[in-house]
């Protein structure tokens, strides 16, 4: 759970420190009081994309820090330890600074860590439920996944086997569709080639005939120039 949250220069919040206790905690206030900024600070600690626009106007950077209570054997603690951070007395300390210009910096357990690692740790520590977050429960796929999760190990093996078989079937279906499309293209090509062969047989071209035709085409293409030259020569002779 979140034990403490410290915010500096985030949106409308110049400085704030929130201390949480076990149980339910409610944040209340008028519109613009900074409730959304509190959620934004938690989002930054969860590894969400940093937006420099969140930096309070006139300040150089914002900073958020959170202290989370977690067992030293938890997934979040293990991920942080592997990244070189420290977990002391069951506390995981995460921090994020976002400058008005430049890249943000992430810290965990006293060490600088990539935002991807911060995101892995955050997913294990916090779940954010928004107004539309749970609409995914309407999805048939989501409902099926939840149902399968209660089936036990034997059922999960069957689900995995079915998934692999279905993926293989889809792959074969795609290959069949591609083959069908290529068959149509091949039939069109065969038809075109047959027409070409029939035309060749009808014309019965002779050796060297193509070169002779090309020379005739070239002469005919220049016939207008030849006519004008002949007319000019005739005019000169006539004069």
Say which residues have a Cβ less than 8 Å from residue 83's Cβ, sequence separation at least 6: 108, 109, 111, 113, 114, 117
Report which of 108, 112, 90, 96 is spatially closest to residue 3, judged by C-alpha positions. 90
For residue 133, pLDDT beyond 60: no
Instruction: Check residue 65 and give its pLDDT.
Output: 94
Cα angle 196-200-202, degrees, rounded to a multiple of 5: 115
For residue 63, pLDDT beyond 90: yes
**Residue 177: φ, ψ to 5°:** -60, -40
Q: Mean pLDDT, to the nearest integer, of 154-174?
A: 91
Q: Mean pLDDT, to the nearest integer, of 109-131?
A: 83
Residue 130: pLDDT band (50, 70, 90) is low
Q: Mean pLDDT, to the nearest integer, of 183-211?
A: 85
Token output for 128: 């954010």
Is the Cβ–Cβ distance between 70 and 27 less than 8 Å? no
To the question of domain 2-128 being in CATH 3.40.50.300, the answer is yes
Instruction: Check residue 73 and give its pLDDT.
Output: 82
Share of the chain above pLDDT 70, in %: 95
Measured between alpha carbons, how far is 166 from 195 in angstroms, rounded to an integer? 44
Instruction: Check residue 10 and give its pLDDT.
Output: 93
**Residue 211: φ, ψ to 5°:** -65, -40
Share of the chain above pLDDT 90, in %: 23
């Amino acid at each position: 759970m979140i034990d403490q949250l410290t915010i500096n220069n985030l949106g409308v919040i110049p400085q704030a420190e929130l201390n949480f206790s076990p149980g339910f905690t409610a944040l209340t206030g008028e519109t613009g009081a900074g409730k959304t900024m509190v959620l934004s600070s938690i989002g930054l600690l969860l590894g969400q994309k940093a937006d420099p626009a969140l930096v309070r106007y006139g300040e150089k950077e914002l900073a958020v820090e959170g202290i989370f209570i977690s067992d030293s054997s938890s997934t979040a603690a293990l991920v942080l330890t592997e990244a070189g951070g420290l977990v002391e007395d069951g506390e995981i300390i995460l921090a994020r600074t976002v400058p008005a210009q430049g890249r943000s910096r992430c810290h965990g357990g006293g060490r600088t860590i990539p935002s991807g690692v911060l995101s892995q740790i955050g997913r294990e520590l916090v779940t954010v439920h928004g107004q539309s977050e749970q609409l995914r429960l309407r999805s048939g796929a989501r409902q099926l996944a939840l149902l399968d999760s209660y089936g036990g190990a034997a059922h999960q093996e069957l689900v995995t086997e079915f998934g692999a078989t279905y993926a293989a079937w889809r792959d074969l279906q795609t290959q069949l569709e591609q083959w069908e499309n290529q068959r149509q293209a091949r039939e069109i090509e065969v038809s075109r080639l047959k027409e070409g062969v029939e035309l060749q047989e009808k014309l019965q071209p002779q050796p060297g005939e193509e070169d002779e035709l090309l020379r005739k085409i070239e002469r005919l293409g220049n016939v207008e120039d030849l006519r004008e030259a002949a007319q000019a020569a005739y005019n000169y002779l006539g004069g």
